[in-house]
Amino acid sequence: MWDDRAMIVERRVALRFEHASREAETHTNLSAVRRDGRCLWVAGDETATIERLTAETDGEGRVTGYGGQVSVALGDLVPLPAAADEEADIEGIARSDGWLWAVGSHSLKRKKIKPGQPDRKSRKRLATIVREENRFILARLPLVTRADGLPEAVAADGDRTAAVLGGRGDSLTDLLADDPHLAPFLAIPSKDNGIDIEGIAAHGDRLYIGLRGPVLRGWAVLVEIRPGTDPRDPRRLRLEPLGEKGEVYRTHFLDLGGLGIRDLCPHGDDLLILTGPSMDLDGPVRLVRWPGAVTVDAADVVPAGELEVLGDLPYGDGDDHAEGIAVLDEADGTRLLVVYDSPSPERLSPGGDVLADVVRLGR
């Protein structure tokens, strides 16, 4: 679906996954992406892994696809709260200063009604809320450059260690337990406008965490933090003070026209924001720029007039949910790569590839 602000899809590129991912169909649930030189880091919301894909180019050096999948199991690098094979619902990936960051949704799930079930069972399922502990993590992984020039996530690189926040009463949602705006939503499932992290961006020593929900009377929420290594345990993270008052997080409220944040991506000192509905709806899906967002004195309340709407992205009817964006710097301009959860049949090739969109960013 399009309107007169629609961003033009210039081309599509194939994301090629190995047999195991195609068999498990985890490659069709992409929820996060970040470019790293020739590579992409991508993640889906039904595993506890991050995948690395390497660019394939044409004769002019333009990217035509990504392949050569390498899986990174989070449980091999950091201590997870639950079993290593239990999904972490990774919804955001960031890269900065030699680190790779991954954040879970930190959300509760309400069970779905299954077709054909009797009313009694359907009512019971709708009353059942599930908490999966691996969703409540923030992971930091050191990156090293291999002999072939490709990045690799490792458990340790000298005194740089893989570390995690969460699982010990110290998750991001534990941090918000007394927050006047967000605490009331901690017990609400994500698709009911409850807490639902879906984006992360890194700049310097700061992380910016985007919430799909809740949306508060039309205002979306972004949380700013400064994580560091816990001196008592190098495999754990702790939050460092942000300012003179000693606060360990700041909330920013953005007028995104009633939409929530589906992903974040830094672009210079700006933040690119992929927006979409907080509830279980298809669209609209819009790309917005927040100029100067990563400056230390970024505003706490950002009205619509201080944001730049770059355009609308396509979405489907029950499919093609845009969930991840990454900046691509090409010889003739800057583009944006967009990956989709629940891809439509048109995005799936007979060989098992998934097609992502490339749109011109403009500046």
**3 occurs within a structural domain:** no
Nearest to 30 by CA among 91, 111, 75, 113: 91
Q: What's the pTM value of the predicted model, to 2 decimals?
A: 0.94
DSSP lists the bridge partners of residue 265 as: 272
DSSP 2: -
> How many angstroms separate the CA atoms of 154 and 164, rounded?
13
**26 occurs within a structural domain:** yes
Q: E strand or H helix at 221, and its extent?
A: strand 219-225
Query: What integer pLDDT is reported at residue 21 of this predicted model?
Result: 82
Query: Tokens 């001196």 sit at which residue?
Result: 231
Query: What integer pLDDT is reported at residue 300 of this predicted model?
Result: 93
**190 occurs within a structural domain:** yes
Which residue type does 325 have? I
* Residue/partner pairs of 328-335 with CB below 8 Å, 24 or more apart: 328/35, 328/63, 328/358, 330/62, 330/63, 331/60, 331/61, 331/62, 333/360, 333/361, 334/267, 334/360, 334/361, 334/362, 334/363, 335/10, 335/359, 335/360, 335/361
Pairing between β-strand 9-15 and β-strand 63-73 as defined by DSSP bridges:
parallel
Domain count of the fold of the chain: 1
CATH of the domain at 204: 2.115.10
> How many angstroms separate the CA atoms of 307 and 28, rounded?
32
Residue span of the structural domain in which 302 resides: 9-360
**149 occurs within a structural domain:** yes
Query: What integer pLDDT is reported at residue 16 of this predicted model?
Result: 93
**2 occurs within a structural domain:** no
> How many angstroms separate the CA atoms of 327 and 22, rounded?
26
Q: Where are the alpha helices (DSSP H) in the chain?
A: 19-24, 74-77, 119-126, 172-175
Going by C-beta distance under 8 Å and a sequence separation of 6 or more, which residues neighbour residue 124? none
Q: What is the pLDDT along the chain (363 residues), one digit of tens a residue?
A: 334 567 778 899 999 998 788 777 777 789 999 999 999 999 987 889 999 999 998 887 788 899 999 999 999 999 999 999 899 999 999 999 999 999 999 999 999 999 988 999 999 999 999 999 999 999 999 999 999 999 999 999 999 999 999 999 999 999 999 999 999 999 999 989 999 999 999 999 999 999 999 999 999 999 999 999 999 999 999 999 998 888 999 999 999 999 999 999 999 999 999 999 988 888 899 999 999 998 877 889 999 999 999 999 988 888 889 999 999 988 778 899 999 988 899 998 887 799 999 998 865
**112 occurs within a structural domain:** yes
**134 occurs within a structural domain:** yes
Q: How many CB atoms lie within 10 A of CB 297?
A: 7
**Which three-class secondary structure state does DSSP give residue 30?**
strand
